Amino acid sequence: MSNDSPLTKKDILDAASARVTESRLDQLVQGHFATLELHDDLDLMKGLNIAKDWLIDNREKLNTKEYDPDIDTSRVEHKLSEANLRAIQAEEADRFVAGQDTNQIKFGNVRFSELTQTLAVTLDKLLKPRRVMRLFQSGRNWYPPNGYMGWHTNANVQGFRLYCSHTPVAQQSYFRYLDPLTNQIETSWDNAGWNFRCFRTDLEPLWHCVYSQTDRISFGYGLMFPIDTAE
């Protein structure tokens, strides 16, 4: 596992990633999306809770400019609807990022490097990769009440995305996606506590969005298996 690399950010994001990973991900993510069970890794859970609590205690240091607590709920519901997704798809084959189509608090300026190192150890134990696996930080998002991120694909970066998301209450926030195999909308509701979701970005685009009626804090990571690198 490599989580510190002399490569530039562009080198990492532009790299080709192996479709067959030669790791347990090939079994864990049978299609495009899966939930993972990481709760038994006490070091990871400790690291995640420390990071979450730091954010809550230091909210004033975060970028809150893009969060509107008074946004109309019906407007958000429309943005995350299937009808709106189909309208977006008619104009954009691959909307790589949501851009301004969000309502959230961002903390991308806080690195949490120790947490990333802990996760790297966790994934090495869980996935047992037989080729080099590269881990890098991706989205850092806090969704307060009526927080959301609109439909997008992340398909510009090959590999997998892994999101570690915390919510204090169950069934008040979700990850919604369009299953490329069935063309059906699926809504994965959060359980109370930590939720771990993984999806592919190197096959058909997996359109997805996020919504929260509570405080949902999410740490995102990219996973890649460079095709030109062997252990």
CATH number at residue 52: 2.60.120.620
- For 128, the token pair is 């047992």
Identify whether 229 is part of a domain: no
Predicted confidence band of residue 4 (pLDDT cuts 50, 70, 90): very low
Any domain includes 52:
yes
Could you tell me the CA-to-CA distances from 225 to 64, 155, 187, 201 in Å, in that order?
34, 15, 28, 12
For every residue of the chain, DSSP letters joined together read: -BSS-SS-HHHHHH--B-SS-SSTHHHH-SSSEEE---TT-HHHHHHHHHHHHHHHHTGGGSB-TT--TT--HHHHHHHTSHHHHHHHHHH-S---S-TT-EE-EE-TT---HHHHHHHHHHHHHHH--SS--EEEEEEEEEE-TTEEEEEE--TTS-SEEEEEEEESSTTSEEEEEE-TTT--EEEEEPPSEEEEEEEESSSS---EEEEESS-EEEEEEEEE-BTT---
* Whole-number Å distance between alpha carbons of 49 and 193: 10
What is d(CA 30, CA 230) in angstroms, rounded to the nearest whole number? 23
- For the chain, what is the domain count? 1
DSSP string, 132-180: --EEEEEEEEEE-TTEEEEEE--TTS-SEEEEEEEESSTTSEEEEEE-T
What mean pLDDT do residues 210-224 have?
97
What pLDDT digit, counting tens, does each position of 33-68 carry? 999 999 999 999 999 999 999 999 999 999 999 999
User: What was the pLDDT predicted at 14?
Assistant: 56
231 occurs within a structural domain: no
Q: Is residue 3 part of a domain?
A: no
Task: Give the pLDDT band of residue 186 (cuts 50, 70, 90).
Answer: very high
- For the segment 70-120, what is each residue's pLDDT rounded down to a tens digit? 999 999 999 999 999 999 999 998 899 999 999 999 998 898 999 999 999
Q: For residue 54, is it within any domain?
A: yes
pLDDT exceeds 60 at position 5: no
From 167, 138, 146, select the one nearest 52 (Cα to Cα): 167
Residue with tokens 């995640």: 48
Domain that holds residue 129: 9-224
Q: Would 230 be classed as within a structural domain?
A: no
Q: How many CB atoms lie within 10 A of CB 21?
A: 24
Return the minimum-mean-pLDDT range out of 10-24, 36-50, 157-171, 210-224: 10-24
Asked if residue 177 is part of any domain, the answer here is yes
